[in-house]
C-alpha cells in the first residue's frame, strides 16, 4: 500500500492571495461524510496553496507549505495540499462520538477559513481502491505483498482501509502502526465481507509506518459476488470490487429487463430503494453448482443453482417490519433527519411524517 493512493491530484492555478474557503470535507477513501478520529479526510475548497506539495517523510507534518488544519483546535497531520484540496488526518486525540459536531479550520499565510462543522463518529470504515474511487477495484495483496488481480476461496489476502477507529495500544496519529509487537490492533470488531460472504479476519490494525492506514488480513470465503465491503459498529463502508475468476457454468447470459425505483424525496439518511430484474442463461453440460446474485448497497437476493440435483434455492434480505414503519432503534449508527438541520432522530425512531410516502406504497 502506498501513500499515493490517498492523493487525488488537482492542478493549482495562479497565486493564492485570498482567504481560504472550505466547501466540503469527505472521507478520503469512501468519499462519504462519515468521519472518525484517525481517519483520512479530503478537504475541498479554494485558496489553499499556490503550488502542490506532498509530505515526503513520516511523521507527517502539521504545517505543509504554510498550510495547517485544526479539528476542534487539534493540529491535523498533512499529506497533500493544492489550491483546491487538502488531504489531512483527523487526530486520534479528537473525541469520538455518535455524529458529534466538531469544528474544522484551515489556516494559510493569508488567514484562517471560517469554522466548518464536521461530524465525528467512533468509526468510519472505508476501503482504499486502486483508482481512488469509492466503488473501484480494491488494493488486494497476498502474504508476500504481491498485488492480486483475482482471489479464490481459501486465499489469505491483505486489504487496506481507513477510519476503523481506536487501537490497542493507542497509536500516534502522524507515524502509523508499529512494525513489531505489540501491534496497534483495532479495538472494535471489524467484519469483512468478500464476495458478499463474511470472511475470517486474521488481523485488523494499523499498517506499520503508514499513518491512518489500516491493514486487514483475511481468509477468503466461498465467493457469491465480486463485491467487497466492511461493517463496523453498524457502519457499512463503501462497496469496492474484488477480482474473481470468470464462471464456466453458463452461456448466453441475457438480461431481459431491469427496473429501479427511487424515493420521491429524501427525508432521512435511510431512504428506501426497490428494483426488479429478469435474466436468462443456458447452463453448460457438466456445470458445477453456482450462484446467481442480484445485489444493491443494502443487500441482495441470491439463487444457488444445484445442477447435479436439478434444484435451486433463493435467499434474500428485505426491510424488516420495524424498519418499514420507521423504527431503527436496533441500529447503532444514528439515523439523521435531513429536514431538521441534519440532527439524529430521537432513539432512531422516524415519525410517520418523516417517512417517504412513495416508499411506503411500494413496500406495502
CATH of the domain at 73: 2.60.40.10
Instruction: Tell me: do 108 and 198 sit in the same domain.
Output: no
Q: Tell me, yes or no, whether 206 and 294 share the same domain.
A: no
- Of 202, 218, 241, which residue sits at a domain end? 241
Report the mean per-residue pLDDT for the chain: 88
Phi, psi angle pair for 103, to nearest 5°: -120, 130
Looking at the structure, do residues 173 and 224 belong to the same domain, yes or no? yes
Confidence of residue 12 (pLDDT cuts 50, 70, 90): very low
pLDDT in tens, 165-184: 999 999 999 999 999 999 99
Q: Are residues 132 and 116 in the same domain?
A: no
326-348: average pLDDT? 81
Tell me if 355 sits within 8 A of 346, measured CB to CB. Answer: no
- State yes or no: pLDDT of 5 exceeds 70: no
Task: Find out whether 306 and 289 touch, Cβ atoms under 8 Å.
Answer: yes
pLDDT tens digits, 213-231: 999 999 999 999 999 999 9
Q: What are phi and psi of 203, to 5 degrees?
A: -155, 140
Domain span holding position 96: 3-120
**Tens of pLDDT along 281-318?**
888 888 888 888 888 776 788 999 998 888 999 988 77
Residues 276, 225 share a domain: no
Q: Do 207 and 184 have their domain in common?
A: yes
With pLDDT > 70 as the criterion, what percentage of the chain qualifies?
87
Which pLDDT score, from 0 to 100, does residue 7 have? 38
State whether 135 and 102 are in the same domain: no
SS3 sequence of the chain: CCHHHHCCCCCCCCCCCCCCEEEEEEECCCCCCCECCCCEEEEEEECCCCCCEECCCCCCCCCECCEEEEECCEECCEEEECCCEEEEECCCCCCCCCCEEEEEEEEECCEECCCEEEEECCCCCEECECCCCCCCEECEECCCCCECCCECCCCEEEEEEECCCCEECCCCCCCCECCCCCCCEECCCCEEEECCEECEEEEEEECECCCCCEEEEEECCCCCCCEEEEEECCEECCCEECCECCCCCEEEEEEEEEEEECCCCCCECCCCCEEEEEEEEEECCCCCCEEEEEEECCEEEEEEEECCCCEEEEEECCCCHHHHCCECCCCCCCCEECCCCCEECHHHECCHHHCCHHHHHHHC
Do 79 and 161 belong together in one domain? no
The backbone torsions φ and ψ at residue 68, rounded to the nearest 5 degrees and listed phi first, read -140, 160
Number of structural domains, the chain?
A: 3
Domain termination residue (choose one: 120, 136, 155):
120
CB-CB contact of 242 with 135 (8 Å): no
Residue 318's pLDDT is what? 72
Judge whether residue 235 has pLDDT over 70: yes
User: Has residue 91 got a pLDDT over 60?
Assistant: yes
Q: Name every residue whose Cβ is closer than 8 Å to that of residue 227 and which is 6 or more positions away in sequence.
A: 193, 195, 196, 239, 240, 241, 242, 295
Hey, which of 111-125, 238-252, 261-275, 297-311 has the most confident mean pLDDT? 111-125
Q: Based on the domain organization, do 140 and 200 belong to the same domain?
A: yes
Which triple of cell numbers denotes residue 42?
Answer: 479530503
Residue 61 sits in the same domain as residue 92: yes
User: Among the three residues 189, 207, 241, which one is the final residue of a domain in this structure?
Assistant: 241
CATH number of the domain bearing residue 151: 2.60.40
- Burial class of residue 13 in the structure, from the number of CB atoms within 10 Å of its CB (0-12 exposed, 13-18 middle, 19+ buried): exposed
Q: Are residues 266 and 358 in the same domain?
A: yes
Residue 202 banded pLDDT, cuts 50, 70, 90 = very high
Say if residue 104 is in the same domain as residue 130.
no
341: Cβ contacts below 8 Å, ≥ 6 apart:
none
Amino acid at each position: 500500500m502506498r501513500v499515493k493512493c490517498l492523493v487525488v491530484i488537482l492542478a493549482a492555478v495562479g497565486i493564492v492571495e485570498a482567504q481560504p474557503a472550505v466547501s466540503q470535507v469527505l472521507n478520503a477513501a469512501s468519499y462519504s461524510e462519515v468521519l472518525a478520529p484517525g481517519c483520512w479526510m479530503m478537504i475541498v475548497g479554494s485558496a489553499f496553496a499556490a503550488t502542490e506539495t506532498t509530505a515526503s517523510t513520516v511523521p507527517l507534518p502539521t504545517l505543509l507549505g504554510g498550510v495547517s488544519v485544526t479539528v476542534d483546535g487539534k493540529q491535523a497531520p498533512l499529506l497533500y495540499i493544492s489550491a483546491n484540496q487538502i488531504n489531512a488526518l483527523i487526530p486520534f486525540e479528537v473525541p469520538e462520538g455518535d455524529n458529534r459536531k466538531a469544528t474544522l479550520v484551515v489556516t494559510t499565510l493569508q488567514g484562517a477559513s471560517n469554522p466548518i462543522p464536521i461530524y465525528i463518529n467512533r468509526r468510519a470504515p472505508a476501503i482504499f481502491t486502486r483508482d481512488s474511487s469509492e466503488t473501484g477495484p480494491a488494493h488486494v495483496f497476498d502474504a508476500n505483498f504481491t498485488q492480486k488481480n483475482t482471489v479464490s476461496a481459501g486465499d489469505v489476502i491483505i486489504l487496506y482501509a481507513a477510519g476503523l477507529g481506536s487501537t490497542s495500544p493507542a497509536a500516534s496519529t502522524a507515524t502509523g502502526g508499529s512494525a513489531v509487537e505489540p501491534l496497534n490492533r483495532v479495538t472494535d470488531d471489524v467484519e469483512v465481507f468478500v464476495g458478499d460472504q463474511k470472511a475470517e479476519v486474521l488481523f485488523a490494525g494499523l499498517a506499520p509506518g503508514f499513518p491512518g492506514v489500516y491493514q486487514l488480513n483475511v481468509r477468503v470465503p466461498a465467493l457469491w459476488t465480486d463485491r467487497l465491503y466492511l461493517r463496523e459498529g453498524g457502519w457499512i463502508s463503501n462497496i469496492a470490487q474484488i477480482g474473481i475468476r470468470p464462471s464456466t457454468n453458463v452461456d448466453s447470459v441475457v438480461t431481459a429487463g431491469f427496473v429501479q425505483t427511487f424515493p420521491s424525496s429524501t427525508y432521512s439518511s435511510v431512504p428506501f430503494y426497490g428494483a426488479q430484474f429478469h435474466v436468462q442463461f443456458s447452463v453448460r453440460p457438466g456445470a458445477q453448482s453456482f450462484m446467481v446474485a442480484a445485489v444493491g448497497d443494502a443487500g441482495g437476493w441470491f439463487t444457488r443453482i444445484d445442477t447435479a440435483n436439478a434444484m435451486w434455492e433463493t435467499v434474500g434480505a428485505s426491510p424488516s417490519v420495524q424498519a418499514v414503519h420507521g423504527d431503527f432503534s436496533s441500529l447503532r449508527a444514528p439515523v439523521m433527519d435531513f429536514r431538521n438541520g441534519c440532527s439524529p432522530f430521537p432513539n432512531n425512531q422516524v415519525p410517520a411524517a418523516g417517512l417517504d410516502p412513495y416508499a411506503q406504497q411500494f413496500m406495502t
